[in-house]
Each structure stands twice: as C-alpha cells, then as structure tokens.
C-alpha cells in the first residue's frame, strides 16, 4: 500500500503544475473563481499562499482507504489536502453555489504545492465525471479505490 501511495505521489509530482483555475475561452479566469481578497493586495493570504482548485481528486468507496491515502499524501510538503469531504460535484445544493464556493473550501497552498480533495461519494454519482471534466479537463487521473464486497 505504501508503494502505491508513493508511486501516486511521484506520478503527480512529475507533470508540470496545472493552472490553479480553469481558463475560459480567450484565456481569462472563469467568473467566480478568484481567491478572497487579502490584506496585501495580491489576491492571496499575506504569507503568499492561495486557495487553488484541486489538481488531484480522490474518489472511491466508503471504507476503501481514501482517508488513509489522503493522510499519507498530506505528509509530503508538496501536498495540501482539503480538511473535509466537500461533496461539490455530487450534492446539488453545493454545486449550485458555484466554483467560487468550491474554491473557498480548499486550503491555502503555495503555488508549487498540489491541492488534493477527497470525496468517496463521487464514485456513486453518474454526473460527477462530467462536472469534474468541465471544471478542469486536464485534472490528474482520479485515484479510485474499491474493496472486496465481502470484507
């Protein structure tokens, strides 16, 4: 299991960083995706961190090891994980709040850090893949965990 986690992390670290926000046609940021204003006027936290849309989303089944995976990834200094399951792509009440709300659920991270979100319930919703793709067609491959039904 540790080798799988390390391999996933190394794979994610090899590719060039993705834009932290999806771009609309013409290269401008989509409306509603800006970070909250900061005291220093840079659009981020005074210490230089920003809230970024996740570059990796972990999905899977309940009790399938997704919490263990995100905890292990969070041990690496280049990874920052959302604290809670966000349920943005599967709960209509959250999805209707828009990308600005989703972004506000993400942790502050330095530009060279990967932001990771985990919501196992994305596995059971047929609308999730399309919504994730619409947010960022270049998102990292989703880590999918399942377990034997008898366990």
41 is in an annotated binding site: no
**Would you call 134 helix, strand, or coil by DSSP?**
helix
62 is in an annotated binding site: no
65 is in an annotated binding site: yes
21 is in an annotated binding site: no
Longest alpha-carbon distance in the chain: 54
Whose CA is closest to 19, among 63, 53, 69, 70?
53
Residue with tokens 């986690």: 5
Reply yes or no on whether 63 is catalytic.
yes
End-to-end CA distance of the chain: 17
| Cα angle 86, 72, 52; round to 5 | 40
64 is in an annotated binding site: yes
Alpha helices, DSSP H, located in the chain: 2-14, 66-74, 92-95, 99-104, 128-135
Catalytic residues, by residue number, are 63
Annotated binding-site members = 63-67
Q: Which residues are annotated as a binding site for 3'-phosphoadenylyl sulfate?
A: 63-67
């Amino acid at each position: 299991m540790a080798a799988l986690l390390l391999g996933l992390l190394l794979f994610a670290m090899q590719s060039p960083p993705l834009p932290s926000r999806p771009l609309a046609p013409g290269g401008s940021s989509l409306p509603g995706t800006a970070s909250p204003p900061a005291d220093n006027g840079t659009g981020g936290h005074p210490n230089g961190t920003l809230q970024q849309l996740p570059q990796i989303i972990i999905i899977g089944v309940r009790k399938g090891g997704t919490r263990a995976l995100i905890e292990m990834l969070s041990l690496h200094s280049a990874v920052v994980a959302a604290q809670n399951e966000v349920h943005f792509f599967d709960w209509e009440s959250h999805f209707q709040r828009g990308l600005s709300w989703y972004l506000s659920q993400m942790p502050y991270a330095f530009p060279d850090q990967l932001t990771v979100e985990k919501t196992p319930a994305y596995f059971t919703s047929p609308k999730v893949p399309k919504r994730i793709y619409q947010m960022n067609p270049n998102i990292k491959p989703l880590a999918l965990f399942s377990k034997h039904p008898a366990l």
